[in-house]
Amino acid sequence: MPDMSLNNIPLEWVRAFEVAGRTGTFTTAAKESSVTQASISQRISNLEQRIGAQLFVRNARGVTLSVQGEAWLPYVTAAFRSLDESYEELFGIQREKITISASASINELWLSPRLRHWQSKHKPQIVLSTMVLQADDDQLGATIRVQYGIGKGQDHYEVPLFSEQLSPVVAPELLAGGTSWLNLPRLALSGPRLGWHEWARHSGDPITPIPKMRFDSFSAALSAAVSGAGVLLASLPLCSSLLEQGRLIRVSEQILEPPKTYWMAGRKAGITKSQWNDLVDIFA
């Protein structure tokens, strides 16, 4: 009586059928499987005997799939493809690569300067990817995402990168001769961040002059401030190195602390807990 269960069928028998059915010949299947043609033939014969069905029609010119073999082949091929893909995802090269998707500003000003601490032959490769608006994790293939002000839920590890602090900064040459920073041009940012209106309410400083230059990325606005284009309400954590170098200076002791900041979130299915802890040690 044929065995109608796959539990006791060696996987190599089913693999031999799949390769032979897909390639069309036992000879090609043997080459792909790195075994002899006789071995492929024997495995398929064993499988046919075990399940009680003829999978190939043998003749003098070679073999062709039987009706039953042709009907079963797509399911077997799909099953092996799924097995191969899941193996690669969980244990293959993708486990040795961590893709971090973030804005250009975060990549440039926060993540890149800290990558030197990741140098180890035992650690996965880090790939920094510039975030595309409206793209999701699957589109980007990102293991880690850094976003402003939002978490990702229970299926993610997450941690804030830093406590956000805002304060006006300016290139020191703009204050030469005793010029008050309150009279200098102001630079502004688009997006959800707090701006000059919130600063005026917090500090009591005048809301004017109204900014005539607006940027969609913090790094671009910061570059303009360094070049002397005006005063920027800057993220102090992101411009700390420029402040230390003296290329920018703070013009107020007051600090505006927004309720939101940048969060780093990692898919639990794509990263181990130890890898996540290593990333937190370096970036957060």
- Domain extents in the chain: 11-91, 93-162+261-283, 166-250
Q: Do domains 93-162+261-283 and 166-250 have the same CATH topology?
A: yes
Report pLDDT for 153: 63
Mean pLDDT of the chain, nearest integer: 88
Report yes or no: 275 and 124 within 8 Å, Cβ to Cβ: yes
Cα of 87 vs its chain's centroid, Å: 19
Tell me which fold the domain 166-250 belongs to. Answer: D-Maltodextrin-Binding Protein; domain 2 (3.40.190)
The pLDDT of residue 255 is above 90: yes
The pLDDT of residue 140 is above 80: no
Each as own residue / partner, the long-range contacts of residues 117-120 (CB below 8 Å, 24 or more positions apart, any chain) are 117/281, 117/282, 118/278, 118/282
The pLDDT of residue 251 is above 50: yes
197: exposed, middle or buried (C-beta count within 10 Å: 0-12, 13-18, 19+)? exposed
Which is more confidently placed, 243 or 91?
243
Over range 208-223, report the average pLDDT: 94
Report pLDDT for 71: 95
Say which range, 108-122, 172-186, 189-203, has the weakest mean pLDDT.
Answer: 108-122
Query: What superfamily in CATH does domain 93-162+261-283 come from?
Result: Periplasmic binding protein-like II (3.40.190.10)
The pLDDT of residue 127 is above 50: yes
Report pLDDT for 236: 98
CATH of domain 11-91: 1.10.10.10
